[in-house]
Chains A and B, each alone.
Chain A
Amino acid sequence: MRPGDLFGFAGSALRGHRLRSTLSLLGVAIGVASVILLTSLGEGARLYVSGEFLALGSNLLIITPGKNETTGGMPVALPTPREISLDDVDALRRRMRGARHVAPLSLGEATAKVGDLVRTVGVGGTTAEFMPLRKIRLRMGRYLPAGDDDRGERVCVIGSRLQEELFPGRNPLGEALRLGEERFRVIGVMSPRGTSLGTDLDEVVHVPVSQALRLFDQRGVSQVMVELRSHEEIEAGKKRAVALLKERHDGVEDVTVVTQDAVLTSFNRILALLTAALAGIAAISLSVAGIGIMNVMIVSVSERTREIGLLKAVGVTAPQVLAAFLVEAALLSSAGGLLGVAVGVGGTRLVQALYPSFPMEPPGWAVPSAAAVSLSVGLVFGVLPARRAARLDPVAALAGR
């Protein structure tokens, strides 16, 4: 028998019960479309997060005080017997090879007051180098001045939303802002950037690091960010930073260096897991669709019992009957799969058109595997009905039994 004829025969059988075929085909299409849409969602989240990290620079080291054995995760300031002092930061800046920028960051919260307006803000104490390091853009004014870390002026750079809230309709440059009991002069406003790495840069006040330490009564900084000249140096840079601080801390290794790679890897792992979980949920709907196909095929076999009897009488072999019904099921499910791919891909395009900022994209494996799975759904769930057809006794089948 010619393959084309097999498909032709199966196709004519499907056209014979159009409504039923269409409905079970839709079941597969919905399953496949949901696999693609849900995995696109997960993959989109992953891309979004890794995009955020890449914006930070992939050759960034974050050094936090305290020995921490984690390989990834957000840098967390842990209580530690020995802080990272401003002298340590200075040593890193002067002596660490391959470092392009080194910036300390001292984090805390304070009450900000401008006239009658009061609100709690996040305060980041840092230096001029933080600007190129975090690629900060300014809406107006300038960033923190360069100079001795120990002797910062009482100036501050504020986030764009703070400007809008604390200085509504006014130019904040040169105005005073109270942080706790201290008065700071506003010298710059950052451009809107949104949340990056858990910090909303639009709602933060940056002050010279020495001022922040004084404000929060801290002796050491929360973290030090080191931007290396190249991504290739990241492992070497990590070792150098640890060695340098170990030497300065009397031979005690009491810092943790986290790279963006490590953070990114763990995020990627979590989000890939999320994508897989979503794919699993969608796969359930595919298997429901498979049962739908099985049902349709079983109905088809019992409805066409006499036809199967006739086929056997004219010399069609049992394997040919099996093949004809399997092809029928496979046609049904792969047509559904194609429709589902079209709807799924179209759906992700639509979401992208509506929300361009969210990168929703089906992962590379999703479309081919959805198509392959839909085909095999037809084959797997078609086996039982097809075998039932192939095994029919010709005499009984001709009698419609």
Chain B
Amino acid sequence: MIELRGLTRVFEVGGRPVHALRGIDLAVPDGEYLSVMGPSGSGKSTLLNLLGCLDRPTSGSYRLDGRDVSELDDLEMSRIRRHKIGFVFQAFHMVPRLTAKGNVELPMVFAGVPPEERSRRSEAALSSVGLHERMDHRPDQLSGGERQRAAIARAMVMGPSLLLADEPTGNLDSVSGGEVIALLEAMNAGGLTLVVVTHDAVLGARARRQIRMADGAVVEERRAPAGPLSSPARAAR
């Protein structure tokens, strides 16, 4: 459960304050599928960074699962990212020298998971994204779609409750993008809260709940009509 109250984030740019977020109030229940849309500079990435505990708000409060995380120190924020939050980035952010499996193991390596368990869990995660055959390949030997699927496996391997995706299909062709969306939605269907930031209206429209941002504030919110979603491949086109 995400609860934002009066969340603001002010950056100093050239000595002048820039209001990236101006008092966001938002509640996202567990298992929600939320898309955040808006033009660049609207504050959607700043919102995502705050949701992911990568950044701290200037004012306002952020409660995650009932706990106020806006005042936590760096170590506690790291711990929350480790256990509760999975990230999927537009640029994949694979470590180039590690294999797909090595990349998926990375969060577990630093979390102190024993090697055998790491191996088992990373293989299971890669299987669940359909990359079991490719797990010993390095990122430069994988296609963009495969890299993003490996990144999803990496985001999922610590068992988070919140999955944050920042333009997850931005660097992908429509077929790979469709596969990635299908995977993310499958994770959501499994009970995970999914927040997708995008400026792609078609992709954004797939979410059950959609918010539109402009100039640091939520300007529009709507819910998709209940009913069967269209196929992911078409959505990403």
Contact with A along B91-126 (1 / 0, CB 8 A): 101011110001000110111101100000000000
Q: Are B93 and A310 in contact (CB under 8 A)?
A: yes
Interface-facing stretch out of A179-187, A311-319, A369-377 = A311-319
With both beta carbons as reference points, the residue of chain A lying nearest to B86 in the complex is identified as A314
Q: Say whether A346 faces chain B, with CB atoms less than 8 Å apart.
A: no
Residue of B79, B97, B106 near A13 (CB, 8 A) is B97
Asked if residues B74 and A318 are in contact (CB atoms below 8 Å), the reply is: yes
**Which of A1-9, A76-84, A233-241, A255-263 forms part of the interface with chain B?**
A1-9
Return the contact of A315 from the options B49, B93, B102, B110 (Cβ within 8 A).
B110
Contact assessment for A320 and B93 in the assembled complex, using a CB-CB cutoff below 8 Å: no
Interface range on chain A: under 10, 10 to 19, 20 to 34, or 35 or more?
20 to 34
In the complex, A309→B78 CA distance in Å? 12
B195 vs chain A, min Cβ distance (A): 14
Asked, given contacts A312-B54, A318-B74, A395-B49, whether A5 binds B89 with beta carbons under 8 Å apart, the answer is no
| Residue B219 at the chain A interface, CB threshold 8 Å | no
A12 touches B97 (CB 8 A): yes
A residues in contact with B80, CB < 8 Å: 315
A13 contacts across to B, CB distance below 8 A:
97
Picked from A2, A8, A306, A394, the residue with its CB within 8 Å of the CB of B54 is: A394
Q: Residue A368 at the B interface, CB < 8 A?
A: no
B132 at the interface (CB under 8 A from A): no
Nearest chain B CB to A337's CB is how many angstroms away?
Answer: 25
- Which of chain B's residues has its CB closest to A304's CB? B95
Q: Which residues of the other chain, B, contact A135 by a CB distance below 8 angstroms?
A: none
Q: Note all chain A residues with C-beta closer than 8 A to B165.
A: none
| Residues A313 and B54 in contact, CB atoms below 8 Å apart | yes
In the complex, A2 Cα to B117 Cα: how many Å? 13
Say whether B87 faces chain A, with CB atoms less than 8 Å apart: yes
Using A5-B109, A394-B54 as known contacts, say yes or no to A312 and B93 having CB atoms under 8 A apart.
no
The reply to whether A1 and B111 form a contact with Cβ atoms under 8 Å apart is yes
Which residues of A are found within 8 Å of B109, using beta-carbon distances? 1, 5, 8-9
Q: Which of A1-37 contact B (CB under 8 A)?
A: 1-2, 5, 8-9, 12-13, 15-16
Q: How distant is B27 from chain A, measured CB to nearest CB, in Å?
A: 24
Q: Is the CB of A315 within 8 A of B74?
A: no
Query: Given A395-B55, A398-B89, does the pair A316, B97 have CB atoms closer than 8 Å?
Result: no
In whole angstroms, how far apart are the Cα atoms of A309 and B49 in the complex? Answer: 12
| Complex CA–CA separation, A309 to B154 (angstroms) | 15
Is B83's CB within 8 Å of the partner chain A? yes
B78 touches A306 (CB 8 A): no
Interface residues of A in 312-369 (CB under 8 A from B): 312-320
**CB within 8 A of B82: which of A2, A314, A398?**
A314
Q: Quick check: A317 and B112 within 8 Å, CB to CB?
A: no
B163 within 8 A of A: no
Determine the chain A residues whose CB is within 8 A of the CB of B82 once the complex forms: 314-316
Q: Which residues of A contact B93 (CB under 8 A)?
A: 306-307, 309-310, 313, 398
Chain B residue numbers with a CB within 8 Å of A313 are: 52, 54, 81, 87, 93
Kindly list chain A residues whose C-beta atoms are within 8 Å of the C-beta of B91.
306
A314 near B79: Cβ-Cβ < 8 Å? no
CB-CB nearest in chain B for A315: B82
Binary contact track A157-173/B, C-beta < 8 Å → 1, others 0? 00000000000000000
Q: Are B78 and A317 in contact (CB under 8 A)?
A: yes
Chain B stretch 147-190: residues in CB contact (< 8 A) with chain A? 154, 158
- The reply to whether A318 and B78 contact each other, CB–CB distance below 8 Å, is yes
A312 to B109, CA, bound (A): 13
How far, in Å, is A123 (CB) from chain B's closest CB?
Answer: 78
A15's partner among B49, B97, B154 (CB-CB below 8 A) is: B97
A31-64 at interface with B (beta carbon < 8 Å): none
Asked whether B226 is an interface residue with its Cβ less than 8 Å from the other chain, the reply is no
Among A1, A15, A313, A319, the most chain B Cβ lie within 10 Å of the Cβ of A313
Contact with A316, one of B49, B78, B89 (Cβ below 8 angstroms): B78
B12: min CB distance to chain A, Å:
13
Give A318's nearest chain B residue, CB to CB: B74
A311/B98 in contact, CB under 8 A: no
Q: Please state if B110 and A311 are interface contacts (CB–CB under 8 Å).
A: yes
Q: Judging by beta carbons under 8 Å apart, are A2 and B112 in contact? A: yes
Assuming the A-B contacts A12-B97, A12-B98, are A314 and B110 also in contact, with contact meaning beta carbons closer than 8 angstroms in the complex? Answer: yes
User: Which of the residues A12, A15, A16, A316 comes within 8 Å of B110, measured between beta carbons?
Assistant: A316
A residues less than 8 Å from B54 (CB atoms): 312-313, 394-395, 398
Residues of B within 8 A of A (CB): 49, 52, 54-55, 74-75, 78-83, 85, 87, 89, 91, 93, 95-98, 102, 106-107, 109-112, 114-115, 154, 158
23 sample A-B contacts, Cβ–Cβ < 8 Å, listed by A number = A1-B111, A1-B112, A2-B112, A5-B110, A12-B98, A15-B97, A306-B91, A306-B93, A311-B110, A312-B81, A313-B52, A314-B82, A314-B106, A314-B154, A315-B78, A315-B110, A315-B158, A317-B74, A317-B79, A318-B74, A318-B78, A394-B54, A395-B54
**The 9 residue pairs across chains A and B that have the minimum distance between CB atoms:** A315-B82, A314-B107, A16-B97, A315-B81, A317-B78, A310-B93, A316-B110, A394-B54, A5-B109
